[in-house]
Amino acid sequence: MSGIADLSWFKSSYSGTEGDNCVEVAVTGQAVHIRDSKDEDGPHLTVGRDEWARFVRFAARG
């Protein structure tokens, strides 16, 4: 099994170019991993893909 360092992380297209206050995500077949872009080796959160989709729909409603 690959480790967290092997994941392909990306930032939202809404993130600025400054590099601060960004959240990065990495999507796998079963989960979405979330971390603070300023602390790549720090803790991260893992949620199921269905839970992530519900969160994104909720956030989009504003």
CB 22 within 8 A of CB 15: yes
Handedness of CA 31, 6, 10, 17 (dihedral sign): positive
pLDDT at position 49, please?
95
What is the reported pLDDT for 1? Answer: 44
Question: Tens of pLDDT along 24-49?
Answer: 999 999 999 999 888 888 899 999 99
With a cut of 60, say whether residue 55 has pLDDT above it.
yes
Q: Give 22's contacts (C-beta < 8 A, 6+ positions apart).
A: 11, 12, 15, 16, 36, 37, 38
Q: State pTM to two decimals.
A: 0.77
Report H helices in the chain: 49-60
Pairwise pLDDT comparison (39 vs 1), residue with the higher score = 39
